[in-house]
Amino acid sequence: MSAYDGRGSVTEASNQMTENIDVASPLEFISMLKVCDEEIFSGWKEYKGLFHDSTLAVIDRVRNVAASVLKDPSNGLVVLSGCGTSGRLAYMTARSFNSKLSANGIEPCFRYTIAGGDKALFTSQESPEDDPYSGIKALQRVSAGKCNVLLIGITCGLSAPFVAGQLDYCLQNLNIFTPVLLGFNPTCLARNLPIERWNKTFLKVVEALKIAQAENRAHILNPVVGPEQITGSSRMKSGTATKILLETIFASAYMSVFHPDVVWHTDRFMNAYSNICGCVYSHPDALAELVTTAGESLKNRGHIYYIAWDTLGLVSIIDASECPPTYGASLDDVRGFVEDGFTFMQNDEGNLSGLGKHFRISSDDFTRDVLPTLTDLDFVIAYIKGKSEVLRSTVRVGPALRPSADIYMPLCLPEQEIRSLCGNTVLWKEWSYLFSEIACKWICNAVSTGAHILKGKVYRNIMVDLRVSNNKLFHRAVGIIERFTQLPKNQAQSFLLMSIYNTDRLTNEQEASAIASHIEVATPQEKIVPCALLTAFLECPIAEAKQILSEEPVIRTVVSKILERQ
Ligand code: F6P
C-alpha cells in the first residue's frame, strides 16, 4: 500500500497524482482521473503503457491464435476468465463477439468463466476467487469436447488463485490449450504468497508460463499502466485497459479472418480509445456536475440509477455492481438497468431475477420497482447510444420522469474522426460501438467513484473501509494498517485479527488459524479496518473503537481526525 518503491505490486500502489483526491473539488477530481487514465496510453514512470512494442507484439501473437479459432469454430474455443470486474469484462467481451459472429451467420465460439458464477456479474462473490480448483472445474465444463482452446486468464494484480488454477491446468494440457495471462504488473511482482490448499503460488505459475512462452505455446500480456486512482481499485484503469486489449485482439482477429482485404493497424485502433478518452475528459464541467449531483444524492441517502440501452446497459450494471465491494455501499445505493434485462444479457445461467430485487435489471423492472419510489434525492442517468442524456429526477408525472436539468455528455467521437483514426468505413461500421462503451465506462466510473468520495468513503486515495472477504483483501487490509500506523506487519495483522474476532486478547487458536478462517469470520462484518486502525492509534479496547465508529458514520471524518492528530 505504500507509495510505489519499485518492489511492491504496481496495481496495489498509491498513485501520487490522487493523494489528495478526497479533498479535491469536483473539477479537480475530474482532472486527477484524467491524468491517471492518460497513463494507460502514455505509460507510467519507465513503463510505456499499452503502446509498448512488446505489448503490440504479444497482441499480434494472441490475435493469431484467436484467428485460428475463428476459422474453425466447431473445434476451437476462446475462453475469457476472471474474478470480479475482470470476470464481468470477460463475460461482456465474450457476449459482444458472439453476437457479432451470430449476426453474420458464424458459429459463436466465445465462452466466459467468472469466480462465483453468474451471480458474480451483479453482486460481488469474493471467496470463490481464492479457489484454484473451482477455476479448473469451470474451465473443464466450458471447454469439454474442444481441441483448440485459447484461454485468456485476466487478473489485474497477477494474483487471483481462481485464474492461477486455470492457467496451470492449461500448462498441463498444452496439446489443447494456449494459455494467456492478462494483467498489469511486471511478472516479477506476481503474487508470491501461498494459495491455501494448493501447492503453487501465482509467481510459480508465471514462471512456468514464461517457459512455455519461449516456445510460443503460452503468452503473457502485462503492460504496466500505473496505479489506480483509488488504491487497488482495479475496476478503473486496469478494467479499462483489459477492455481495450481484449477488444483489440478480437477485433483484429475478426478482421483478419472475415475482412482480410482491410488493412489493420493495431496501434491506430488503440489510439482511437486514447482519443475517446480525451473526448470524454474534454467536458470537465459536465462531468463535475454529474459527480456533484450524484454525491449529493448519496450524501442525502438518495440513490443513483443508471438506465441504458444496448450494451451501455451492461457497462452501467457492471459499474453499479462494483460499488458494494469497493465502497461498502448497499446494493440499493447505485443500480443499473438495461432494456430487455436478461433477454439481452445472454448470460450462461439465464434469468436470475428470481434471486431477488437486486437481480431485477430490465427497464420494465425499473418502471415497476423503482419509478414509484423515486424522490428528488435520487439521480437517474440515462445513457442513450450516440449521446448521453442525463436526467435529474425531481418530479414524477404519471409513469414518466421530468428532468430538473439535463446534462449532456457525448458518448462517441464524431463519425468523421473515428473514420480517419480507424482508416476506413468498414472499421468504423464494425467497431464504433466499442468506443461508446468505453466512454460510458469512464463516465460511470467517474460518477460512482466521485459520489462515494463526496460521501466520505475514502481517506486520501485509500478506501479504508474495505470488506475483508478474500485473501487479497485480507493482505490489503493488513497493508493499510501497516501504512497508517507504521507498525511492523505482524503487529498490524494482530490489530486486524482483534477487530475481526472482536477481542482485546487473541487466543492461540485464533492467531494460528488459516487466513481462510479469518476471512470467513470477517466477511459479514462492517468497519473491520477502521476499527482496527482506531484501536491501534488510541490504544483503546475494541469496544471503545466500535463506539466511536457508531457515533460518527462518515469513515473519512473519523479516520482523518484520528490520523491528523498524531
Ligand atoms: O477481490 C475483489 C476484487 O478486488 C474485485 O474488486 C476485482 O474486480 C477483482 O478482485 C479482480 O482482481 P484481479 O483482476 O486483480 O484478479
The pLDDT tens digits of the residues spanning 319-358 come to 999 998 888 889 999 999 999 999 999 999 999 999 999 9
Pairing of strands 76-82, 110-114: parallel
Helix (H) or strand (E) holding 315: helix 311-321
More confident residue, 379 or 565: 379
Are the CB atoms for 325 and 127 separated by under 8 Å? no
Greatest mean pLDDT among 226-240, 387-401, 420-434, 521-535 lies in 226-240
pLDDT band, residue 561 (cuts 50/70/90): confident
pLDDT at 92 over 80: yes
Q: Where in the chain is the domain with CATH 3.40.50.10490?
A: 53-222
Mean pLDDT of 430-458: 92
140-144, 273-277, 459-463, 562-566: lowest mean pLDDT where? 562-566
* Pocket mutation for ligand 1, best pick of 12, 86, 323, 471 (most atoms within 8 Å of C-beta): 86
Q: Where in the chain is the domain with CATH 3.40.50.12620?
A: 16-46+266-459
Mean pLDDT of 426-449: 89
Could you write out the DSSP letters of every residue in 65-99?
A: HHHHHHH-TTTEEEEEEESTHHHHHHHHHHHHHHH
Query: Is 437 a pocket residue for ligand 1 (Cβ < 6 Å)?
Result: no
Which CATH code, of 3.80.10.10, 3.40.50.12620, 3.40.190.10, 3.40.47.10, is assigned to 16-46+266-459? 3.40.50.12620
pLDDT band, residue 23 (cuts 50/70/90): very high
Q: Residue 1 has what pLDDT? A: 39
Query: Is 128 a pocket residue for ligand 1 (Cβ < 6 Å)?
Result: no
Query: What is the per-residue burial (b if ≥16 Cβ within 10 Å, else e) of 392-413?
Result: bbeeeeeeebeeeeebebbbbb
pLDDT tens sequence across 540-551: 999 999 999 888
Query: Is 472 a pocket residue for ligand 1 (Cβ < 6 Å)?
Result: yes
Q: Where in the chain is the domain with CATH 1.10.8.1080?
A: 464-565
pLDDT tens sequence across 371-406: 889 988 899 998 876 666 676 665 555 556 666 667
* Separation of alpha carbons 162 and 93, rounded Å: 19
pLDDT at 418 over 80: no
Tell me the three cell numbers of residue 283. Answer: 467536458
* Separation of alpha carbons 175 and 119, rounded Å: 32
| For the CA of 242, the nearest atom of ligand 1 | 14
pLDDT at 262 over 60: yes
Query: Is 83 a pocket residue for ligand 1 (Cβ < 6 Å)?
Result: yes
Q: Residue 401 has what pLDDT? A: 65
CA 394 to ligand 1 center in whole angstroms? 36
CA 392 to ligand 1 center in whole angstroms? 32
pLDDT band, residue 461 (cuts 50/70/90): very high
Query: Is 471 a pocket residue for ligand 1 (Cβ < 6 Å)?
Result: no
CA 87 to ligand 1 center in whole angstroms? 9
Q: Residue 417 has what pLDDT? A: 63
CA 263 to ligand 1 center in whole angstroms? 36
| For the CA of 473, the nearest atom of ligand 1 | 1
Query: Is 325 a pocket residue for ligand 1 (Cβ < 6 Å)?
Result: yes
Mean pLDDT of 2-31: 85
Q: Residue 327 has what pLDDT? A: 87
Q: Residue 430 has what pLDDT? A: 84
pLDDT band, residue 190 (cuts 50/70/90): very high
| For the CA of 322, the nearest atom of ligand 1 | 6
CA 121 to ligand 1 center in whole angstroms? 13
**ipTM tops the 0.85 cut:** yes
Sheet with strand 76-82: strands edge to edge:
110-114, 76-82, 148-154, 177-182, 219-221
* Separation of alpha carbons 425 and 432, rounded Å: 10
Query: Is 475 a pocket residue for ligand 1 (Cβ < 6 Å)?
Result: no
pLDDT tens sequence across 499-555: 999 999 999 999 999 999 999 999 999 899 999 999 998 899 999 999 998 888 788
Architecture of domain 464-565: Orthogonal Bundle (1.10)
Q: Residue 385 has what pLDDT? A: 67
CA 73 to ligand 1 center in whole angstroms? 30
In the chain, DSSP finds a helix count (H) and a strand count (E) of 22, 10
Query: Is 236 a pocket residue for ligand 1 (Cβ < 6 Å)?
Result: no
Q: Residue 78 has what pLDDT? A: 98
pLDDT at 95 over 60: yes
Helices (H), 486-527: 489-501, 508-512, 515-522
Minimum CA distance residue for ligand 1 atom 10: 84
Contacts 24+ apart (CB under 8 A), 31-34: 31/281, 31/284, 32/229, 33/229, 33/281, 33/442, 33/445, 33/446, 33/449, 34/277, 34/281, 34/284
Which CATH code, of 3.40.640.10, 3.40.50.11540, 3.40.50.10490, 2.60.120.380, is assigned to 53-222? 3.40.50.10490
Angle at 156 between CA 254 and CA 243, to 5 degrees: 30
Residue percentage of the chain with pLDDT more than 70: 92
| For the CA of 470, the nearest atom of ligand 1 | 1
